[in-house]
Structure 1
Amino acid sequence: MTPKKHNQRLLGKTAIVTGIGAGIGQGIALMFAREGANVFGCDINTKAAEATLAIAKSEGLSMASLHPSDLTKEKEVEKLVELAIEKFGRIDILVNAAAFCAFEWIEDLDYETTWKRSIAGELDIVFLTCQKAWKYLKINGGSIINFASANARQALKGSPALVHCATKGGVLSMSIQMAMEGGPHKIRVNTISPGLVHTAATDHLASDPEKREFLNDKHMLGRIGKPEDIAYAALFLASDESSWVTGADFPIDGGASKW
């Protein structure tokens, strides 16, 4: 993502961002740091996390990370939160960008491996980070940004996304409940539902000219997304500009969910 003019919209805030090694998580972590936030990140991929830290360092940004970090392990999540407090003294923002999910048809899913692992990789890790950060967010209030999906509400023909539909539906509903529980403490909880974004995970689709043309046509704006498209929405939800926004879902998808 190319650095742009910084308005310091998050100056003085501390953000935990999971999955900073690539894609949406990296885009959000760098944008938040460029906007003045202290960012504490994590990633299961050490090399990827260190590459993001190197970008931040080259720009003089405030960013630290725990890596490798397995967010399906409760103790690892506790360590992440405690290190963020130790490093920066507070938590104002939590962005749950890290995720893992197996895309397989119902008959091909193995309950003990791909199903349970995917539930842990897209639903459990959101619950755990929110729960462990909650007591610190209660101190000054804050913003939690979770990731749902169009698949929380609809199925896409030809896509073997059964577990993904289940987990993202869970994230969406769980986030609404969290918004209610967080209201008295000025903790805001919102979700973003991205369309297809060009990342390392989707490069095999975006780099195929035939598939790229089909995917572009599936979006009203004629293109698939970039990590910064999602990061700008997250920036609004993390900032004080969204102080009256909670329990909401934002479909940042180039119009795909309405097309």
Structure 2
Amino acid sequence: MGRLEGKVALISGTGGGQGRAAALRFAREGAKVFGCDLNAAAQQETIALLRDEGLDMAGAGSVDLGDPQGAQAWIEDALATYGRIDILYNNASAARFGPIGEMSVDDWRYTLRNELDIVFYPTRFAWHHLAVQGGVIVNISSVAAWGASAATGIGAHSAAKAGVIALTRQLAVEGVKHRIRAVSISPGVVVTPGTKPFLDNPATRSMLLAGIPMERAGEAEEIVATALFVASDEASYITGTDIVVDGGMLAL
């Protein structure tokens, strides 16, 4: 029996990267997965991969979770398909980077919309359904929430991801009486379609890995393994905290 047998897990951003890895791992552990992605074709590829294994996954088409109506529709579609929600895995995000003194208001708002709003809206509309039988919220933050950088222009990204951690703590406190746990995970540098161009470039790769004691980037599956533990009953006494998965970056 898998660690998530009988659970319904909603995972955002399942078209690739960590979201696809999460959909595959959670389904293999017995969960019924309901995904979404802005890229509907990529989402369908993930569904096809799982169905080829005889595993259960469904999902919406192109969904913009930074829009409250889109988020609400995703939650309602999941309930219509599987009838309950046990796990909400807020993985999807998108950011724009640049120095604060040069960043446009549009880029600032885009980042907060697609890294903080995109966590709040699905959580808001799933909350009372999670409370029916109790459940788990897993929010993906970043090591960027824990420090600043003079070189990379991560101000908006850092602010949004720090907000995810703060929101997670509040969700945990408010969730106790509903038997809802909430935990955030802060990955470091991880191999994904978004980071691949930087890791493939020798100069940027060297810069990124220089600050990692383990001297390598993480794999999507390593972040997902942490999320799997958090979402499982094995983590029943863990709530309101942030788990850093960064190869030792923050130890320096």
The Cα shift of 1:217 comes to 3.5
In the other structure, the counterpart of 2:155 is 162
Identity of aligned residues (%): 40
In the other structure, the counterpart of 2:192 is 199
Query: One-letter code of the match for 2:213?
Result: M
The Cα shift of 1:205 comes to 1.1
The separation in 1 between residues aligned to 2:131 and 2:181, in whole angstroms, is 10
The Cα shift of 1:108 comes to 2.1
The separation in 1 between residues aligned to 2:143 and 2:188, in whole angstroms, is 7
Secondary structure of the corresponding residue to residue 189 of structure 1: strand
The correspondence of residues 73-152 of structure 1 with structure 2, limited to 5 A, is 73-111=67-105, 113-152=106-145
**TM-score, with normalisation over the residues of structure 1?**
0.94
In the other structure, the counterpart of 1:68 is 62
Unmatched tracts of structure 2, length 5 or more: none
Say which structure is richer in strand.
2
In the other structure, the counterpart of 1:176 is 169
The Cα shift of 1:147 comes to 1.4
Q: State yes or no: 1:20 paired with 2:14.
A: yes
Query: One-letter code of the match for 2:129?
Result: Y
Secondary structure of the corresponding residue to residue 192 of structure 1: strand
The Cα shift of 1:158 comes to 1.1
In the other structure, the counterpart of 1:4 is none
The separation in 1 between residues aligned to 2:111 and 2:203, in whole angstroms, is 29
Aligned residue pairs, count: 252
Unmatched tracts of structure 1, length 5 or more: 1-6
The separation in 1 between residues aligned to 2:98 and 2:119, in whole angstroms, is 22
Give per-residue Cα distances to partners, 1:172-199, cap 9 Å, x unaligned: 1111011000011110000000011011
Match of 2:36 among 39, 42, 46: 42
The separation in 2 between residues aligned to 1:136 and 1:118, in whole angstroms, is 28
The separation in 2 between residues aligned to 1:157 and 1:241, in whole angstroms, is 39
Query: One-letter code of the match for 2:97?
Result: F
Match of 1:211 among 185, 194, 204: 204
What's the RMSD between the two structures over aligned residues? 1.1
The Cα shift of 1:27 comes to 1.0
The separation in 1 between residues aligned to 2:117 and 2:209, in whole angstroms, is 32
**TM-score, with normalisation over the residues of structure 2?**
0.97
In the other structure, the counterpart of 2:236 is 243
